[in-house]
Amino acid sequence: MISPNPQSLREPALREPAVLETRSDSSTEARSSTGALAQPTAGQKSGWTVVVSRGQSRNPAKRGLEQAIADAAAQMPGVNVVVVPHLYDLPKGGESLQTLAQFDGNLIVVSWIFPRAAHWVLDRNNIRGQFVPPQIGDEADADEADGDVSSVAEGADGDTEIERVSDLFPRPKRDVHCLDLKVSDDQGVYIGEIQRLIQPAGQPEQPPVADSNSSSGGVAGSLPIIGGQILQVDETTSRRWYPVIDFNRCTNCMECIDFCLFGVYGVDGAETILVEQPDNCRKGCPACSRVCPENAIIFPQHKAPAIAGAEIEGEEGFKIDLSKLFGAPDTGDDAIATAARERDEQLLLAGRDAIGIDEQLKKRQADLNRKPKDQLDHLLDSLDEFDL
């Protein structure tokens, strides 16, 4: 259900925003602090919506950051604010996703997972739009360095063009901006970026307003403070583990459905790959992400940034297992051998027989070995020459 924001988590605000509530039947109503009910208007549904996704932990500092961003966004003109549990844990068809589906305007999603991961978590739940690379944090630097990347893949022969799934099935023409709360603990970074995004083109900026909640004494932003509304969904969730497909990268090659033996993947009516049974996935296992030729499979809670959805150039996250730096045995496995070993571990835990590197994986392994070496490969080769 949806309830007013807990006062114990709210820092002093200049003006108390109204709160939206949903009933147990999942219908959505607006409830102000005076108790009056009002259905969100068409204008509200098509305007900007800021979604604040709460973290899995109950860390007071993290909750305070989430609350400060929600409060500030609710005071911006024409902005809807929805606070939901952790995006990755939301059950399909639950209150949070039903609520978000009512808003069809541009989205700004603030969460504790990488922006690419957040976008495709929403996409798999039919909350879709155009991914807009973030302008804050390390990912902004990566996007600037990479420049405009075509959504058309180059084939193995270097000539054949392979279309991405998102080219075949374009997403709606609305922007989805995702901000990563791991970038900074300064609320002003996020509030300022939200204001920059919603500021109408050509409109002169208002004088900056000091943020009385900021411990750094910084500036919250440039828009006037007015009364807003926060819709907070208090939905019971549990921690989940499942793959998310980035369809801006996926070429529908079906490597993942052939590799996974736990029935996680399936195909839809258009013969397009999808995560059909997400909760069949074995907790902690990222093996299928290692065999994906396009690095299109994301596990948002994985410790390796490349697997968790970070915009990392090349395959660094797949080549280097940082646990080796802290005492784990170095087996010399490449990504395919590692994936086969991880899959075998899960098969044995499920009481099934291990199968190792089958013929299909051998072919993928050979394909990888034929690829030219990149800078990281040369670095690893040079390190091997040292007797460490």
Q: Which residues, listed in sequence order, are joined to residue 178 by a DSSP beta bridge?
A: 109
| pLDDT at residue number 289 | 95
Q: How many CA atoms lie within 13 A of 74 on its CB side?
A: 26
| pLDDT at residue number 147 | 42
| pLDDT at residue number 156 | 44
Is residue 135 within 8 Å of 189, Cβ to Cβ? no
| pLDDT at residue number 41 | 57
Please state the pTM of the whole predicted model: 0.75
What is the DSSP pairing of strand 107-111 with strand 48-53?
parallel
DSSP string, 265-294: EEE-TTS-EEE--GGGSPTT--HHHHH-TT
| pLDDT at residue number 378 | 52
| pLDDT at residue number 283 | 95
Point out the residues of the chain with pLDDT beneath 50.
Answer: 2-39, 144-151, 155-157, 206-227, 314-330
Average pLDDT taken over every residue of the chain: 77
| pLDDT at residue number 244 | 97
Q: Which residues contact 151 (CB under 8 A, 6 or more apart)?
A: 163, 164, 166, 167, 248
